[in-house]
Structure 1
Amino acid sequence: MSSISGGDRVRERGFDVDQTNHSVVVGESVVVKWLTPPAPLPQPTPDVFAHLTSVGFTATATPYASVSRRAGDGTELLLALVTAYLPDAADGWEWCVDEAVSGRTAFAADLGVLSADLHAAMATPSATFPDPVRQAPAAPAGEHPWSVRARQALDEALAVTDGEDGDWLAARADALRAELAPLTSVGTTPLIRIHGDLHVGQMLRWRDGYAVIDFDGNPTVTGADPFQPAARDLAQLTTSLEHVGQVAIKRRGADPAATREWAAAARAALESAYRERLAGLGRATLLDRSLVRPFEIEQECRELIYAARHLPRWRYAPMGVLRSWYR
């Protein structure tokens, strides 16, 4: 595919990875991400870009523009986002699988620092987000909303997972519910605008380091409050390392026992670096460690739901993770 720019033909190419939207590199200088279908405004990404730029967070593809149009009914639709092209970039479903196969974990500390820097930036006031940190509201009479959300995810995962996997999951339903217990009595946890879909696939390794991308939120959760505990992002990122291990086992023939050890070491290094960086930035209180495990359980349930609804072949990854946790 090509386009015309200043009389010269500028090469364009699409990314080769699976993604909901369609991204095109133009002239090896910018990436145009076309939303398919266009999304009604407001959408989180333009505001997040404006905020991160204003507070000096640069570990992302530099945002240049957003493109929108007004529909016939007066609705404003976001058509595309334009960001800088990062040379030699590969997402985590490529480079991180290589790390798992090789047994290397040094990268994990870098991801922990990057994630902490992102959360600290999200917690810094700007003209776009003048009040970026809130306290979790007191639980209403009855079950806390986070507990309801997690329990519903578990119930749906049990309902949509069939066969031998479904039998295995059902036999451990009580243990999984017990892991969600901390969500029933949440304290005064700080809430910030989190990434919402923070997994290794959003972590690009490029010529000059790492960059986090795609601030569209979690596509599997509708109507979620943009203000969430930082622990939710951290839990999704740590579970994605476990998924990388499962991909390495299934697709690359990695040794299961060695890969489990790799995943445990990578997770520990990532969280340690994350917590140390937050403390160094004076933001240690952003992480409520007690929420990480229940959010991890909820995330694995959502992975099973996603597999059942959209990508059945993916079920091996969350099931492999859960089987390794409850061996």
Structure 2
Amino acid sequence: MTGTGPRTVTPRRSDGLRADDLDLMVDELCRLLPDWLPGRRWYAGKGQDLSEVRPLLAEVVVPGTPALLQTVFRTDDGACYQLLVGAVPQPADARTGVPADAVIGSGRTPDGRWLTLYEASSDPELLSALLERFVAAKPCGALEYHHIPGAVIPAGLRARPLTGEQSNTSVAFGDRMMLKVLRRIMPGANTELEMLAALERTGDVPSAAPLAWAQTAGWQGAEPATLCILQEFVPSLGDGWSIATAQAEACIRRACASVAPLGGFPDDAFALGQATAQVHRALAQELEARTLSLPEAVELTDTLVARLDDALVEVPDLTPYARGLQTAYQDLREVVRRGNPLPIQRIHGDLHLGQALRAADGWVLIDFEGEPGHPFEERRHLQPAVRDVAAMLRSFDYAAHHALGDILGAPPGGPSSRDLRGTRMTSRASAWAVHSRRAFCAGYTAAGGQDPRTSPVLLRAFEADKAVYEALYEVRNRPEWLPIPLAAVRRLAHGSRSAG
């Protein structure tokens, strides 16, 4: 796939399906997806009309009934999405186990036959059959399946779809492996494969070792694009977001505004800070690391200002704080201009509590693909490690206010948070967030990372950038939650930090 414009492909013939059957299924998908695709959690073009899709790839990877198609479609805004599509020649209600919201379409074809097409990422039977493609590591038309050298991939494991994700879809195979099905497809080297391999090479950073991957074959001279990544499964006690929000809620419900009654999460936050520093050290060791030049600092500042300008168009509530935010960004450039070295390296790029799993022996960071929707080359840019730190600090703030909203039965910032009970609970939520942020920074420093609190200018700039992004996200998806990032924007525009 390339970024030069849409290219259609001719679906290939596979055992168990006639060529015209596959042509028919692709034609039906082109007709159905403009209405179905915008409702998916991982679809990036929310709020925009989708008039058409064009097929870039369509292969039958599991023939028979049901059949499994691995497909990539380009939308009319130029974005490319992968779908695993199940196909059965019968009405939707005749096949049990297919969730109603997974059905893309069901009805009679122009030649009078029944055809049901459904999103197959929740079909254990088809997903288990797909695993055999990775075991065999043999090409399938325009698809290639590759093993990491030395990886052992067991066959015959039962698939178990996982829930709770947004930008991609994950499937567990027993307690041995996890398949990540990438949704937004881009050409080029995959950042997650590269970074997981780097962490694996160090041997002392807990991570999910990569095992195999699927990619396009780079047909017609196009650069290959990664479609799926098979990696070790990390058994966990839960993800950071679930654990943090549960403990924040427990704290908010008690009359606690001091350190002692906050429960165990500051210890967890300390350990999470340690894990983050360990990952940063490993990435700096195994991949490129250097200091930021002044031209790069100017370019970085310009990028932050441009993001703010774009957000102001959709979020006018940011306008009163624009000058203060711009000052925060310009201060970052001044740090470099005055000769202060600013180390840059490969970082996680999309770090938050949901990207950490609490394993039996500590935290494991996951999902190293960077910010969804950004080109892979942009995700590979070297950046200050404090950017990941700032993103995690914002996540603590969100966890506290999400828990508060659940308790109040309304988003924070509404009338229920301004009465006496709501004010007290809001104070407890803020205290929980502050203590968690302090513990995270302390843990990061204890594990050999540079104390982020000694770089207040950098921390302020990157927290502000993240809060602006959050404001834009909330306006597009949950306008009632806009007060959360706006409160951070207000504080950061006035020169305050949040790490404590």
State the TM-score, normalizing by the size of structure 1: 0.84
Alpha-carbon distance in 2 for matches of 1:256, 1:59: 36
Contact 2:355 2:365 in 1 (8 A): yes
1:64 Cα deviation after fit: 1.7
| Runs of 5+ consecutive residues of structure 2 not aligned to the other structure | 1-123, 133-154, 252-262, 409-421
User: What CA deviation, in whole Å up to 9, does each residue of 1:49-81 have, x standing for no partner?
Assistant: 221111224322232222223143233121111
Alpha-carbon distance in 1 for matches of 2:373, 2:401: 21
Corresponding residue of 1:197:
350
2:364 to 207, 211, 235: 211
1:96-175 equivalent positions in 2, closer than 5 A: 96-103=244-251, 104=263, 105-125=266-286, 129=287, 132-139=288-295, 144-162=298-316, 166=317, 169-175=318-324
1:261 to 418, 428, 431: 431
* Residue range with higher mean Cα deviation, 248-257 or 15-24: 248-257
- SS of residue paired to 1:124: helix
Question: Relative to 1, partners in 2 of residues 1:233 and 1:69: Cα closer, same or farther, differing over 3 Å?
Answer: same
Question: Relative to 1, partners in 2 of residues 1:54 and 1:284: Cα closer, same or farther, differing over 3 Å?
Answer: farther
- The answer on 1:244 being equivalent to 2:411 is no
Task: Tell me the number of residue pairs that the alignment of Structure 1 and Structure 2 aligns.
Answer: 310
2:448 to 253, 263, 278: 278
| Runs of 5+ consecutive residues of structure 1 not aligned to the other structure | none
1:227 Cα deviation after fit: 0.5
User: What CA deviation, in whole Å up to 9, does each residue of 1:281-308 have, x standing for no partner?
Assistant: xx779x8553111110011011122334
Alpha-carbon distance in 1 for matches of 2:187, 2:373: 17
Alpha-carbon distance in 2 for matches of 1:69, 1:20: 20
Question: Relative to 1, partners in 2 of residues 1:205 and 1:320: Cα closer, same or farther, differing over 3 Å?
Answer: farther
Question: Relative to 1, partners in 2 of residues 1:52 and 1:224: Cα closer, same or farther, differing over 3 Å?
Answer: closer
1:315 Cα deviation after fit: 3.2
Alpha-carbon distance in 1 for matches of 2:243, 2:308: 31
* Residue range with higher mean Cα deviation, 247-256 or 107-116: 247-256
- The answer on 1:297 being equivalent to 2:458 is no
Match of 1:99, as an amino acid? Q
State the TM-score, normalizing by the size of structure 2: 0.57
Question: Relative to 1, partners in 2 of residues 1:42 and 1:311: Cα closer, same or farther, differing over 3 Å?
Answer: farther
Match of 1:95, as an amino acid? I
Match of 2:209, as an amino acid? T
RMSD of Structure 2 on Structure 1 (CA): 2.8
Alpha-carbon distance in 2 for matches of 1:47, 1:313: 38
Alpha-carbon distance in 2 for matches of 1:220, 1:271: 29
Alpha-carbon distance in 2 for matches of 1:319, 1:66: 40
Match of 1:58, as an amino acid? V
Alpha-carbon distance in 1 for matches of 2:490, 2:342: 31
Between 1 and 2, higher relative CO (CA 8 Å, sep ≥ 6) is seen in: 1
Contact 2:442 2:451 in 1 (8 A): no
- The answer on 1:184 being equivalent to 2:184 is no
1:112 Cα deviation after fit: 0.8
- SS of residue paired to 2:228: strand
Alpha-carbon distance in 2 for matches of 1:88, 1:275: 25
1:312 Cα deviation after fit: 4.6
User: What CA deviation, in whole Å up to 9, does each residue of 1:226-251 have, x standing for no partner?
Assistant: 21111111111111111111211112
Match of 2:308, as an amino acid? L
Match of 1:154, as an amino acid? L
